Amino acid sequence: MSDPSGAQARNPLYRAGFAVTERRDLWWMEPLLTVLGLGVGFGYLTWAAFLGNPEHGHYGPYLSPVYSPPVYEWFPSIMTYLPAFVSPALLILWAPGGFRATCYYYRKAYYRSFFLNPASCAVGKPWEKYCGETEFPLVVQNIHRYFMYLAVVILAFLWYDALKAFTRDGPKDYVAGAGSVVLLLNAVFLSLYTLGCHSLRHLIGGYLDCFSTCPTSKLRHTAWGGVTCLNERHMLWAWVSLGWVGFTDLYIRLVSSGRLADPVLF
Amino acid sequence: MPEQRSFRVFRGDAGGGQMKEYTVETGPGMVVLDAVHQIQATQAPDLAVRWNCKAAKCGSCSAEVNGKPKLMCKTRLDDLPADRPVEVRPMRTFPLIKDLVTDVSWNYEVNKKIPPFTPKPNGEWRWMQEDVDRVQEFRKCIECFLCQNVCHVLREHQKQPEFFGPRFFVRLAALEMHPMDAADRLDLTHRQSGVGYCNITKCCTEVCPEDIHITDNAIIPLKERVVDRFYDPVRRLLRKLFRR
């Protein structure tokens, strides 16, 4: 029988070591694709953020999500106090970057693919020591909800940018270019990702034990149901929104540099 | 059409063992447990295997088929590649008794550490469907302990003394979210259950034969409740102000 202290006698089948497994399927494929996907997505956005010239992210009413909200325009003097390597985009991207870095889905993705902790289920790990998210620095992941609050605020600005992208010479002059649709889809995808957040799901109603006790708790149950619906596809929206943010920035860069024409749709 | 298929089954005990080859005549719709029974009936009467219902409801026949934690009664042979022998091993996380049987009694010791359902005093015993739905999912657990077996915190790091494991996070979540329960288990969840060790890599969810969304619906909500109580200064302040 088991030792009551909880210490287990090692099963004689136990073999330790990185990638030790009896699995025969392509278990390494998912972490490999994740490394490639996150490498390309975050690699591009980091490159875009460090380029440092906001003019490349502007074209007419279009504003790249990398530069939105334009904090550097509201407080131009702030840039003079910062080191030269800090681009205007970095004033903004730390917030959505922190939101994604502490997101429960991305945690799964990078713990598996970058930290091999573990690379896949029932596959050996290269690490012997393990403290999970109980100690610094990973205990800081608990800050996720604060990044979520910031991400929701930034999302409001991205919706403003998306709607503004349908205007030209004023709020009543509606023109839809391909870029307007790109920016609109960017706001939609980011909303589907942000509003499916696990922390939001908890704060909006998940913390309640009883949904039927008062009228507001019923309202919260409806909201919780909506967030749950999005949360079930959180991984999908995490990838789609990440890819689309990069595509949106690239599109506006190409249009503003004259390498791509922005067709007027209607 | 009957078809001959090769199986490699672990034979041995805590002292050691080896994989032994058997050939079994298989038919349509057969599952791994059927083949193991046929080996037991015709070739190895001393082969030890734990099973009960053969309907994925008792959670007894947990094993590792081709290296993946699975219920043998729910793993169809036609879902496994036919060009190589089917390998059947016991769960690796628990002490081995014999052949495919492991000692899972540690789990029952963990269960005793969780305060049971404690009804609210003078509570009205009426609850609405929306309150039932969330905790009902957790009632599907058949205690097969595949989630415990695959969890790397237990499997690789042997944190049994300080980590309850996914099965018991499901139980904690079921009790914590229960609308009729009055006990507070958040301190236990934070300080004793080791929920912080979980790095949400979702292997428990992947292997659950009852499709319980262990990570999304039990562990992450528990982590969020722990954040509410122990890490979020604003929620703390709000709780003090509104005495919630």
- Listing DSSP states for B167-207 in one string gives HHHHHHHHHHT-TTB----HHHHHHTS-GGG-----HHHHH
Residues in B touching A22 (Cβ below 8 Å): 64, 66-67, 87, 89
Residue B28: its pLDDT value, please? 92
Q: Identify the CATH number of the domain in which residue B36 sits.
A: 3.10.20.30
Same domain, B87 and B112: no
Residue A170: its pLDDT value, please? 67
Same domain, B230 and B182: yes
DSSP H or E stretch at residue A12: none
The last residue of a domain, from among B95, B119, B147: B95
Residue B94: its pLDDT value, please? 95
Give the closest of B89, B103, B231 to A13, CB-based.
B89
Nearest alpha carbon to residue B220 among A207, A224, A190: A207
Same domain, B88 and B112: no
Give the closest of A7, A14, A111 to B161, CB-based.
A7
Same domain, B126 and B11: no
Residue A50: its pLDDT value, please? 85
Residue A78: its pLDDT value, please? 84
Gap between the Cα atoms of B222 and B82, Å rounded: 42
Provide the token pair at A217: 């708790």
Are B211 and B151 in contact by the 8 Å Cβ rule? The answer is no
Give the residue from chain A lying closest to B154, CA to CA. A8
Is A24 within 8 Å of B207 when comparing Cβ atoms?
no
Q: Which amino acid is at A19?
A: A
Same domain, B72 and B180: no
Q: Average pLDDT by consecutive 10-residue portion of chain A (266 residues)? A: 55 83 95 98 92 77 92 85 84 95 98 96 94 94 97 97 87 83 98 98 93 83 96 98 97 93 86
Is B221 within 8 Å of A107 when comparing Cβ atoms?
no
Q: Is the residue at B213 inside a domain? A: yes
The last residue of a domain, from among B41, B65, B95: B95
Gap between the Cα atoms of B18 and A207, Å rounded: 49
Is B95 within 8 Å of A2 when comparing Cβ atoms?
yes
Nearest alpha carbon to residue B211 among B58, B72, B92, B56: B56
Query: How many domains is chain B built from?
Result: 2
Same domain, B111 and B91: no
Instruction: Match 């497994």 to its residue by tokens.
Output: A21
Partner B contacted by A209 (CB < 8 A): yes
Are B90 and B101 in contact by the 8 Å Cβ rule? The answer is yes
Same domain, B144 and B29: no
Partner B contacted by A14 (CB < 8 A): yes
Residue A123: its pLDDT value, please? 96
Gap between the Cα atoms of B109 and B117, Å rounded: 17
Gap between the Cα atoms of A87 and A53, Å rounded: 7
Ordered by start, the domain boundaries in chain A are: 32-256
Q: Identify the CATH number of the domain in which residue B210 sits.
A: 1.10.1060.10
Instruction: Match 């004023």 to its residue by tokens.
Output: A170
The last residue of a domain, from among B63, B95, B127: B95
Are A71 and A88 in contact by the 8 Å Cβ rule? The answer is yes
Q: Which amino acid is at A146?
A: Y
Environment class of residue A90 by beta-carbon count within 10 Å: exposed (0-12), middle (13-18) or buried (19+)? middle
Question: Can you give the residue range of the structural domain that contains B44?
Answer: 3-95
Nearest alpha carbon to residue A20 among A124, A106, A105: A124
- Please list the ranges in chain B whose pLDDT falls under 50: none
Residue A171: its pLDDT value, please? 64
Same domain, B110 and B222: yes
**Number of other CB atoms surrounding residue A49 within 10 Å:** 22
Partner B contacted by A43 (CB < 8 A): no
Q: Is the residue at B76 inside a domain? A: yes
- β partners of residue B82: none
H-type helices in chain A, by residue range?
29-51, 71-74, 78-81, 90-101, 104-113, 144-164, 178-194, 198-201, 215-231, 234-256
- β partners of residue B71: B62
Gap between the Cα atoms of B234 and A146, Å rounded: 10
Give the closest of B10, B197, B199 to A13, CB-based.
B10
Phi, psi of A204 (to 5 degrees): -80, -15
Do the strands B68-71 and B62-65 form a parallel or antiparallel pair, or are they unpaired?
antiparallel
Tell me the residue ranges of DSSP E strands in A67-150.
Answer: none
Distance of CA A193 to the CA centre of its chain: 7
Provide the token pair at A226: 């909506």
